Amino acid sequence: MATKYMIVSGFLGSGKTTTMISMARNINARLREQGQEGHAAIIANDLGAKNLVDADFTRTADVDIAEIAGDCICYVTEDLVTAITRLANAGANLVMSDIPGAGVGALDHVYLTLKDEYPGQFDLLPLTCLVDPMRLRMMLPGDARRNIHLPEEVRFLLNAQLLEADLIVLNKVDLIDDEEREADLEFIRRAYPDVPVMAISARTGEGIPELVDYVLSHEATAEPRDLGLDSEEFDAAEAQMCWYNRRFFAKERDERNIDFNAVVEDLMEGIRDGLIEARRNVPHLKLFAAGEDGDFVKCSIVGVDYDLEFERKLQRDYTAMAIIVNARATCESEAFGEIVEDAMDAIKRKYNLKCNVIFTECFGFADEGRRNGGRASRY
Ligand SMILES: Nc1nc2c(ncn2[C@@H]2O[C@H](COP(=O)(O)OP(=O)(O)OP(=O)(O)O)[C@@H](O)[C@H]2O)c(=O)[nH]1
Ligand SMILES: [Mg+2]
């Protein structure tokens, strides 16, 4: 039987990882209740090479997961097919993956490519695009709160993501009242009249059973659509973004036990402060660190104007920890790197830490030398 496969797209920090985990848990509980074989699995995909918060976090969620790192699934079809097949061989009958980076291009590069090059091998479920109410405000006409300190250029990406979708899902409805929810849904229905719209909260689980029912009973359209991805607007939007992944080992110099939740909070706040000073933003800054016996801390901010959110805090103190920081920022890559160094210097001083950096990558989408495996040169 063909393996079901679908992509969850959407803007940075819109809740793709949280939604996929929530959907997988719902599907797996149903299958268990019905005594049926199979399960839902997740592919965590990222442009960065390694040390990815989403992959480590998903592993804590009792859901089968594969990781495709180093490039977008749009450009590594063979790796994608290998990963789906491996998960299917391990018993998965539905595989979901997100799409990193600009969050568009999956229709052409994944759905249509799988349909043409691997006919009959996959049942393609609706390309599902998440949008969260705060980002949607960027598009709402005359909305007084539309300035959320993201560059104007990225509005193009939001629109292209929604144009590409077979299903649009308004996520994070727990953060808005009924009136705003209705206004948002109405705006989406008018702007994208041919696309069905649903509302969920991946955090509380509201709407997840209905979303699962929908995707399991519908197919992807998988027909070419012009999204304007060859345009200058697309290039301009991509050029705003930089990717930053770091893993470091932080050790209290006198081997004393300390509260690493406080270290994490100060590091995140330090990066936020640096960005505010530089008048830049970070659509998603996330951090993960694992302790002993399943103890871990995971936290995020989805912009400099947002509260720090801990999905989980450490339950005990440690003398040392490996910490992973990922950022998808609207900032020049070099400047972002310096902001992180400053924030790290501050936690080193405050908590008497020695920090060994194990891995860092930091690149702008449009940085010279990023493509061609870094072989580009000038003379
Ligand atoms: N209040 C609320 N927060 C949510 C919801 N879904 C996700 N979040 C939070 O939003 C932040 C980003 O969620 P992720 O699932 O990591 O988003 P993502 O789209 O996978 O992010 P990237 O992979 O970095 O693009 C996290 O702090 C989540 O806890 C929701 O339904 N309600
Ligand atoms: Mg994610």
Domain coverage including residue 14: 3-236
169-188 pLDDT per residue, tens: 999 999 999 999 999 999 99
With respect to residue 369, please indicate whether it lies within any of the assigned structural domains. Answer: no
300 CB under 6 A from ligand 1?
A: yes
Task: Sort strands 353-364 and 309-312 into parallel, antiparallel or unpaired.
Answer: unpaired
303 CA distance to ligand 2 centroid (A)? Answer: 15
pLDDT at res. 150:
82
With respect to residue 374, please indicate whether it lies within any of the assigned structural domains. Answer: no
218 and 319 in a single domain? The answer is no
1-56 pLDDT per residue, tens: 799 999 999 999 999 999 999 999 999 999 999 999 999 999 999 888 888 898 88
The secondary element (H helix, E strand) that includes residue 42 is strand 39-45
Asked which of 236, 260, 279 is the last residue of a domain, the reply is: 236
Look at ligand 1, atom 32, and give the residue with the nearest C-alpha: 172
User: Degrees (nearest 5) of the Cα angle 67, 71, 74?
Assistant: 95
Contact of 169 with 20, CB cutoff 8 Å:
no
Q: How far is CA 158 from CA 92, 153, 154, 237, in A?
A: 31, 10, 7, 10
Structure tokens at 91: 């018993």
Number of domains in the chain: 2
> In one letter, which amino acid is 138?
M
53 and 154 in a single domain? The answer is yes
255 CA distance to ligand 2 centroid (A)? Answer: 34
Structure tokens at 65: 């997961």
Task: Sort strands 296-301 and 309-312 into parallel, antiparallel or unpaired.
Answer: antiparallel
171 CA distance to ligand 2 centroid (A)? Answer: 14
CATH number of the domain bearing residue 18: 3.40.50.300
Asked which of 180, 205, 236 is the last residue of a domain, the reply is: 236
Q: Which residues contact 34 (CB under 8 A, 6 or more apart)?
A: none
Looking at the predicted structure, is the pLDDT value of residue 348 above 70? yes
Look at ligand 1, atom 1, and give the residue with the nearest C-alpha: 172
15 CB under 6 A from ligand 1?
A: yes
76 CA distance to ligand 2 centroid (A)? Answer: 18
User: Binning pLDDT at 50, 70 and 90, where does residue 377 land?
Assistant: low
pLDDT at res. 373:
56
pLDDT at res. 375:
58
User: Binning pLDDT at 50, 70 and 90, where does residue 378 land?
Assistant: low
Instruction: Pick the more confident residue, 56 or 189.
Output: 189
173 and 295 in a single domain? The answer is no
pLDDT at res. 379:
64
Ligand 1 mutation target, pool 8, 11, 12, 17, most atoms within 8 A of CB? 17
